[in-house]
Amino acid sequence: MILKNIKYISFWVSCLMVICSFSVSAQEDIYVDIQCSNQYPGVGEQIKLSYTLKLKMKGGMASISHNGIKIGKPAMKSLNIVKEGSEGNSFSFGGFGGDMQLSKYSFILQPTQKGKVTIDPLTFEMNGNVYKSSSYTINVGEGDPKAKIVPQNSNIFLRIDISKSEIYKGEHALVTYKLYSHYSNISIVDYDFPMANGLWKEEIKQGSKGWPQTQETINGKGYLVVPLKKEIIYAQKTGEIEIPAITIDLVVGGGFFSQGTNETIKSNNPTIKVKPLPEGAPESFNDQVGKNYKLEMSYSTTELKSGEALDIKIKINGDGNIKQMTAPKLKLPFDFEEFEPEVKESYNVTTSGTSGSKSFDYLVIPRHHGTFEIPEFEYTYFDLSSKKYKTLTYPSQTITVEKGANTQPLTTNSNITQKGDVEILNNEIRHISSETTFYPKDTYFFKSKTFWIGIIAPPSIFVLVFLFLMFKPQKDENEMTQKGASKKALKILNEAKKHLDSKDDLLFYESLYKGLLQYLSNKFSVPTSSLTKESISATLVNHNIDLETINSFIKIIEESEMARFAPITHAGAENTMNQAVLIIQNIEKNAK
């Protein structure tokens, strides 16, 4: 009987050894299999993507045990995760034939934009070994334009809404950044609002209590909607412009007895189509796009003396990008000297766009006497109501200029009756002398050395001056702007310091944010609308700025953005001010 039991036990030990042998050898044949329900979905269409960790069987049977499997998930760019989760991460057993499934992790995805999307590899970590899948590509077509994107976490998500999907170049649209939450307690820890290329932005100031919160029902579920930011955008180029997605780190469900749960959520990244303006714009078109524009024009006087000042004031108001309005050109007589206008502006930014006025006060000095006519003034803008160019006009104006002190005449056809008049009008003309003096023949001026010098010298001097001006290094407008960047930066910092001294930290950060971007734009001739965190870093690197200064600059930009949503201590604001001064000093010292 004992012998029989020993044989029985020996048989099962042998079987176990066979099983173990399969288990040990099978470790080398573990791989990751990928399956997708549809490799060619449309935008908004849901697909299932599954990663399965498998053991390749070569006959017989095998078993593997583990204490848990860790998943390394790839970033799902341009893909919205509706649902995700693992399917079986405990003890696994396989029988005879076929490959054995050890673990499975699946995603329910929605593509958010058309094009080829490549997903990075996913990893399984088991028993100290890491098993990596291959990358996977899906091709996204047009899909259903009405398909609704389901948020990754249905309890809390972000959304960017644009008031218009299609606009003209120079036209405005309202962009609203919203947080949808099913939680009662939320605390924002950090966030990132990337800057978009090709857009001029004007942020709408919120009230002291922030933007009003509302309730909204989506798919039968109620949400608290918290507007984080609203801004008016003006397109500076044509084509499709993408509004970058925003990312927020927050804590949800925190309370007195709980620290809450950390969440990182990311919004959609919508695009807006920008159409070019119609062809055939008049010469007086000044790149303004809007509606309800009005023109006011006035002359300080219509009668004055030569050498005296004439003020010509032009004021334009309407609903459009008033802040970017450039000074219109005056058509003045040749003998009128014109100076740079004094510019004053007053505008208001609301959810309806930007409206206000801008005035240009020109100082003009006529240098000669006479009667002059300033032609009819024209100012053209593109009217969004009629979708046509509209020209505003002001009638021509006659200006009478009398002789002033040290006046020079325009012509010599005047009726001159007094000797004094001749001497005042032109010092080179004298009254005819009544006495005549004769000189010997050999003292004639004609064909003398002085005569030939007088003939040759003027054209020679002209040629020399022409060559000098041609080869003289010219200081272009960009160079002058760059040299003035540090002075403008100092003015900006002084304005920010005033807000800091008055303990208005919010205005301090707003002023500092806009000022630093304007400084970079002037310093390195980069349009403000093209400045992103990436382009700022690249620009500073190209101009020999060290990495520490670059990181500090980006940090101040991020901190200035963050100040609108999370309170920062006054001491922290003072520290930021000191850092900004050091950064500008370093850039001025080291930039090449």
Per-residue pLDDT at 423 = 38
Find the radius of gyration of the CA atoms of the chain: 39
Ranges of residues in the chain with a pLDDT under 50 are: 1-27, 89-97, 150, 410-431, 433, 475-477, 480
Contacts 24+ apart (CB under 8 A), 444-447: none
Which CATH number is associated with domain 156-275? 2.60.40
| DSSP 8-class letter at 530 | G
Per-residue pLDDT tens digits for 249-284: 888 776 555 566 777 888 888 889 999 999 999 999
User: Domain locations in the chain?
Assistant: 26-140, 156-275, 285-402, 419-471, 477-590
* Parallel/antiparallel/unpaired status of strands 221-235 and 214-218: antiparallel
CATH 2.60.40.10 fits 26-140, yes or no: yes
Per-residue pLDDT at 162 = 92
Is the Cβ–Cβ distance between 407 and 307 less than 8 Å? yes
| DSSP 8-class letter at 442 | G
Reading the block at residue 38, the tokens are 């549809």
Reading the block at residue 116, the tokens are 């080829």
Exposed / middle / buried, residue 161 (Cβ in 10 Å: 0-12, 13-18, 19+): middle
Contacts 24+ apart (CB under 8 A), 552-558: 552/579, 552/582, 552/583, 553/516, 553/583, 556/512, 556/516, 556/580, 556/583, 557/513, 557/516, 557/517, 557/533, 558/192, 558/533
SS3 letters across 93-120 = EECCCCCEEEEEEEEEEEECCCEEEEEC
* Identical fold between 26-140 and 285-402: yes
Per-residue pLDDT tens digits for 130-152: 999 999 988 888 765 555 554 55
Reading the block at residue 585, the tokens are 């000093």
In whole angstroms, give the CA distance from residue 380 to residue 445: 60
Which CATH number is associated with domain 285-402? 2.60.40
Crossing angle of the two packed helices 547-562 and 570-590, in degrees rounded to 10: 140
In whole angstroms, give the CA distance from residue 417 to residue 356: 57
Is the Cβ–Cβ distance between 107 and 116 less than 8 Å? no
| DSSP 8-class letter at 525 | T
| Helix (H/G/I), strand (E/B), else coil: 267 | coil
Positive or negative, the CA dihedral 15, 21, 24, 30 is negative
In whole angstroms, give the CA distance from residue 509 to residue 490: 16
Per-residue pLDDT at 217 = 81
Strand partners, 397: 374
In whole angstroms, give the CA distance from residue 543 to residue 589: 11
Tell me the CATH number of domain 477-590, given options 1.10.730.10, 3.40.720.10, 1.20.120.330, 1.20.810.10.
1.20.120.330
Q: How crowded is residue 172: how many other Cβ atoms within 10 Å of its Cβ?
A: 25
Reading the block at residue 44, the tokens are 């908004």
